[in-house]
Amino acid sequence: MKYFILVPDGGADWQIPELGGKTPFEAAKMENIQMLAKIGEVGNVQTIPEGVDPGSDAANLAILGYDPKTYLTGRAPLEAAAMGIPMRTGETAFRASLVTLEGDRAYPDRTVKDHSAGDIGDEDAKAAITLIDRELGSETLRFYPGVSYRCLLIATKLDTGEKITPPHDILGRRVGDYLPESPEIRRIMERSAEVLKNSGTAANALWIWGQGKKPALPKLAERYGVTGSMVAAVNLLKGIGRCAGLDCPNVPGATGTLHTDYRAKAESAISAFRTGAELVFLHVEAPDECSHAGDLAGKLESLEKIDREVFLPVYGYLKQSGEPYRILILPDHRTPAALRTHTSEPVPFLLYDSEKTPAPRGDRAFTEAYGALGEPVPSGEALAARLFA
């Protein structure tokens, strides 16, 4: 049995007046996925447990069958695992996002203009973090470049149990209303603005958040008896994959933005299946990034490219492979474009089993509304148990 999980990150949304009251899943031209929905099962699943913040870390862990309340130690340590950064006992990893702040007033009175510093390129991000590490780093504070704006801080003596608001949740808002309580973290954030003010890029500050300790996940081979690959651009997903025992290939042209190489991701998935992978988890960040930017046209474009350039070739390969297969398609969480951040609402899923095709239904669709018609699946872990049963 082959298993293909396709995650259009943040794809689920609300009804949008500009789309005639439709959601992006309803408005986008996703003929191939909607065709599969007519012969598959569509429902709703609660990927975010009650009391857990609706982050991609929690939601994607849940999709793979890991209860976030048990296994989530923080976003940053998963990214550190993807980057091969060793974490010693007692160390804390933080996301050190390169951001763009607006205004020339005192630091607390500036606003968050862009959580991604204009989708800063890897080389510019590396130069900015190298500068930060030279000016602010020490034996107990180590800064590392990541993919685009997604950089890391590993701290030996800096620990805090407080929840720090992610920058994508406070776009257009005053910085001082969301600064962490920790004086040391505030000092790093304020000093970073001084260091980066003449960086020559859109990155003019760091935002420190998403902290946690080194994770310990049981392998998927132990839980469900499957091995395979995680095809993703962002280190968060690669970190989850590595901790779960999956291969994490580097896909040329995979950027985590609207302009990622969708076809290259599909080819990577097919290559993994051809070389023996039982499971391929393919994650596309673009719909989420477009939602954070309030880019509705970009969100529709990304969903249509996922349908045409990612799903269709992988589905075509699985159909002609001669092996039984199951396909699970779902966003990890909702990211309403009007809200520009994540919510904890249930998300629709599409589950297809090549050996158990239900009777076709012309009205069945992979949408939020149709998913809500059935009895909701209570957790990602429950859905994973059905997928791998």
Phi, psi for 173 (deg, rounded to 5): -105, 160
For residue range 63-79, list pLDDT tens digits in order.
999 999 999 988 999 99
The answer on pLDDT for 129 being more than 80 is: yes
Beta bridge partners of 155: 92, 141
Measured between alpha carbons, how far is residue 97 from residues 125, 211, 302 in Å?
10, 12, 24
Three-state DSSP state, 352: strand
Measured between alpha carbons, how far is residue 284 from residues 147, 196, 197, 211, 257 in Å?
14, 30, 32, 23, 8
Cβ(96)–Cβ(83) below 8 Å = no
Amino acid making up residue 191: R
- Report the pLDDT value the prediction gives residue 194, as an integer from 0 to 100: 95
What is the rounded CA–CA span in Å between residue 318 and residue 310? Answer: 13
CA atoms within 13 A on the CB side of 26: 18
- Report the pLDDT value the prediction gives residue 361, as an integer from 0 to 100: 81
Which residue shows structure tokens 């280190």?
Answer: 235
Three-state DSSP state, 193: helix
What is the rounded CA–CA span in Å between residue 178 and residue 84? Answer: 31
Which residue shows structure tokens 């799903």?
Answer: 311
Measured between alpha carbons, how far is residue 272 from residues 3, 268, 282, 384 in Å?
11, 6, 11, 20
Count other Cβ atoms within 10 Å, centred on residue 291: 29
Phi, psi for 183 (deg, rounded to 5): -60, -35
* Band (374; pLDDT cuts 50, 70, 90): confident
Cβ(140)–Cβ(157) below 8 Å = yes
* Band (362; pLDDT cuts 50, 70, 90): confident
Domains defined for the chain, CATH in brackets:
2-72+216-387 (3.40.720.10), 85-212 (no CATH)
The answer on pLDDT for 42 being more than 90 is: yes
Which of the two residues, 263 and 356, has the higher pLDDT score?
263
DSSP H or E segment with residue 272: helix 262-274
pTM of the model: 0.87
* Band (90; pLDDT cuts 50, 70, 90): confident
- Report the pLDDT value the prediction gives residue 356, as an integer from 0 to 100: 87
Three-state DSSP state, 306: helix
Residues 6 or more apart whose CB falls under 8 angstroms from that of 206 comprise 96, 97, 98, 99, 132, 151, 153, 188, 189, 192, 196
What is the rounded CA–CA span in Å between residue 50 and residue 253? Answer: 36
What is the rounded CA–CA span in Å between residue 134 and residue 146? Answer: 17
Closest CA to 240 of 87, 70, 64, 89: 64
Q: What is the mean pLDDT of residues 364-372?
A: 97
Phi, psi for 177 (deg, rounded to 5): -80, -10
Closest CA to 350 of 96, 47, 34: 34
Cβ(152)–Cβ(162) below 8 Å = no
- Report the pLDDT value the prediction gives residue 149, as an integer from 0 to 100: 96
- Report the pLDDT value the prediction gives residue 151, as an integer from 0 to 100: 96
For residue range 168-187, list pLDDT tens digits in order.
999 999 999 999 999 999 99
Count other Cβ atoms within 10 Å, centred on residue 360: 11
- Report the pLDDT value the prediction gives residue 254, as an integer from 0 to 100: 95
Tokens of 120: 């800063």
Given 3-state DSSP classes, what are the helix, strand and coil percentages for the chain, each rounded to the nearest 5?
A: 35, 20, 45
Strand (E) positions, the chain? 2-8, 41-45, 92-102, 111-114, 141-147, 150-155, 205-212, 228-231, 279-284, 325-329, 347-353
Cβ(250)–Cβ(224) below 8 Å = no
